[in-house]
């Protein structure tokens, strides 16, 4: 069963004024689309044509097939990124708000840490809000690296590859990151991921 490029959960122009339709169309159709095409070709060669994307990532990591890992992890990370953005204002659930307070103090402190990590990451990568050993944390991964297959549970992510922001913000990554944090972060999605994780790994009070 081939991996498919899922449609965006909003119109390409829905995030305009922060991320242009041109960026979204190119990023989703060309960049994400290319990762999906390549993972399908490479998975077939590796006799993983029937595997899920998560299974392909884990198998490639295990067999040290970096070429396949990069394409598969990028395909997964991008799907997660599109869901991490929303066109309208969203808020963390009461449970996630309590966890943010417990781990960071408040939303402003979380945003500050997330922005600093995303802006300060050298080169291409991803800035994640993770549930790690019962605590929320901000971590970056380099290039295609992904939490998939590890023990940390991703709640939301910001793509910090240049293709995510260069057309709109040129070299000003911080402006893009701050626009995402202030206007586009999908807290409904993060809250759903937090609630699901809480069912079996994190005692939410
Ligand atoms: Fe990207």
pLDDT tens across 132-157, in order? Answer: 988 999 999 999 999 999 889 999 99
- Does the predicted TM-score (pTM) go above 0.85? yes
**pLDDT score for 19:** 98
How close are the terminal C-alpha atoms of the chain, in Å?
A: 40
Q: Could you give phi then psi for residue 78, rounded to 5 degrees?
A: -70, -40
Are 148 and 124 a contacting pair, CB within 8 Å? no
If you measure from the C-alpha of residue 200 to the centroid of ligand 1, how many angstroms do you get, rounded to a whole number? 31
Tell me which residues have their CB within 5 A of the ion that is ligand 1: 159, 161
Q: What digits encode the pLDDT tens for the residues 38-86?
A: 999 999 999 999 999 999 999 999 999 999 999 999 999 999 999 999 9
What pLDDT band is residue 199 in, cutting at 50, 70 and 90?
low
Sorted by where each starts, the structural domains of the chain and their CATH numbers stand as 21-84 (1.10.287.990), 94-198 (3.55.40.20)
CA dihedral 176, 71, 142, 189 (to 10 degrees): 50
Cα of 147 vs centre of ligand 1, distance in Å, is 16
pLDDT of residue 23: 98
Ligand 1 centroid to 82 CA: how many Å?
10
Residue-level pLDDT at 200: 46
Adjacency order of strands within the sheet including 125-132: 135-142, 125-132, 153-159
Among 85-94, 107-116, 118-127, 190-199, whose mean pLDDT is lowest? Answer: 190-199
CA distances from 153 to 66, 115, 120, 138 (A): 22, 20, 22, 11
CA-CA distance, 169 to 161, in Å (whole number)? 12
Residue pair 57/148 in contact by the 8 Å Cβ criterion? yes
What mean pLDDT do residues 160-185 have?
98
Helices and strands (DSSP H and E) totals, the chain: 9, 3
């Amino acid at each position: 069963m081939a991996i498919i490029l899922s449609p965006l959960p909003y119109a390409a122009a829905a995030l305009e004024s922060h991320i242009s339709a041109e960026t979204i169309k190119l990023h989703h159709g060309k960049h994400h689309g290319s990762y999906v095409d390549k993972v399908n070709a490479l998975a077939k060669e590796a006799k993983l044509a029937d595997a899920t994307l998560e299974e392909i990532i884990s198998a490639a990591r295990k067999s040290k097939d970096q070429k396949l890992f990069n394409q598969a992890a990028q395909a997964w990370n991008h799907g997660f990124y599109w869901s991490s953005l929303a066109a309208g204002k969203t808020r963390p659930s009461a449970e996630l708000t309590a966890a943010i307070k417990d781990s960071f103090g408040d939303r402003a402190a979380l945003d500050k840490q997330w922005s600093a990590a995303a802006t300060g990451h050298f080169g291409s990568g991803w800035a994640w809000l993770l549930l790690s050993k019962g605590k929320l944390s901000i971590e970056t991964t380099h290039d295609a690296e992904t939490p998939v297959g590890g023990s940390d549970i991703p709640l939301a992510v910001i793509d910090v590859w240049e293709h995510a922001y260069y057309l709109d913000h040129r070299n000003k990554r911080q402006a893009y990151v701050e626009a995402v944090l202030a206007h586009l972060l999908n807290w409904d999605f993060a809250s759903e991921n937090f609630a699901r994780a809480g069912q079996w790994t994190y005692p939410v009070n």
